[in-house]
Chain A
Amino acid sequence: MNEQVTGYWLATLLQPLVLLLAAPLLVGWIKRIKSRLQNRRGPAVMQPLRDLRKLFAKQPVVAKTASPLFRAAPYVVFASTLLAVTSVPLWSIWLPSTTVADVIVLVGLLGLGRFFLALAGMDVGTAFGGMGSSREMLVSALAEPAMLMAVFTLAMSAHSTNLSSIVAFNLDAGVVLRPSYLFALLGLILVAIAETGRIPVDNPATHLELTMIHEAMILEYSGRHLALMEWAAQLKLALYGLLIANLFFPWGLAERFTPLEGLGALALVGGKLLLLGALLAVAETTLAKMRLFRAPQFLNLAFLLTLLGLLSNVILESGL
């Protein structure tokens, strides 16, 4: 039992805790940038964390007609998302958790969370909830295959669906310009926008029935349940950020995990995430929310891009 392995386990156990803190901050950071871009002071970066604390302290109110599933859902959503983020290399390449859950399982876990989220939306029996669930499932039905295609592109060139192996492969390959990666990256970004409910697919800031998707589902939640749901959503955002940052730009991840390297890697990854967040904020301020039925076209574009990525991978780069 050399310290190498203990290091890996340490990384695996610490990673979710770090992300649990980092995710709200990332959201706060995005909000901050956005309000800056809109010439507002905006809330502090810490604000989301404060909100969570407040929500946890509040007493939840559950609709009379809600079934047990309504109360179980937040935990399932939270747990699955947490597990998902645990299986993405944050700072160290080699994570034991990646052998438990490869990239397909990752998508599956997100799907599990979404399944319960949508069910919870329909449980109380409000029109909003059903509407949100329907839209959410539509968006995800189009987004999920695109995402799988994107990661398949990486998997096919790395000959593995294990995230660590993929990262390692990309790290070894160094800077290679692959058309497939370009397509996959673009596609993944579009998917990330759709899946995390950002503009132009969804608008996290409003409760307008015409626009909202994600918010409509958690409308009936309050107190700790709401907190868990929100937290899960923030984790999801962070997760996509991580995927984009660490799969396509894996530079700086720790080969062999020692506290020092770990912190260095963490700093680098944090940097990447902040950058991504800023970009997202810029995008959101410049773009406008689009009608629900333009969302499919948006996602078809994503699907098309990723499929192109995959095809160009198997056709052009089979040698590489």
Chain B
Amino acid sequence: MTQLPLLEQAILVLAALTLLASFSMLAQSRLTSAIHSFAWQGVMVAAATALVAAVGHAHHLYLSALLTFSLKGLLIPWMLHRLVRRLNMEREVENIAHPALVVLAGALLVILAYWIALPIERLELASTRNIIAISLAIVLLGLWLMIARRQVVTQVLGFMSMENGLFLAAVASTRGMPLVVELGIAFDVLVAAVLFGVFFFHIHESIESLDTGKLTRLTEEEPA
């Protein structure tokens, strides 16, 4: 039983790497590389899940690890890639207004997440629990990514990375949800991904781009 702490540390490291991936998504201005870092995030979450499964001998977690890997690590990135290529936007570079500020705000969010999670930390529970803070940070970063970026693709990435954060939290803090729930969630994510795919085309054909900044038909501010 000496390798347990080691494993747990490994989980922590993976969690940290997941967080890092979120940051890299935040900082990446090129779509394709952002998608890559998202793929990496998915892989790491899957790995973390597998580790937790190993630590807790929770066998259904292996299944969900597999699901995560195939969905978040392979399927969705591949779909996004394909879409980007179809809409030939590989070279698309989204110029962020103040990249430094965006990342800085992200860092603040992380601190905030830790601060919020403090009361949970104080529960004096096993070390894996403080992964909650990290995953919360990932969730917030995902949301922040959607706010900071205007590209539809990046928004999808943000959305999915939020899912990653949630998943990490679920797995690491509670040894995973009941299987039904896991499956349900996975199913929803899949459908969501498909829908995203559908919408890319609709949006693209309605505004000739994937810039959400142009999606402002429905407003109540009368044109000045």
In the complex they form, whether A and B have CB atoms below 8 Å apart is answered with no
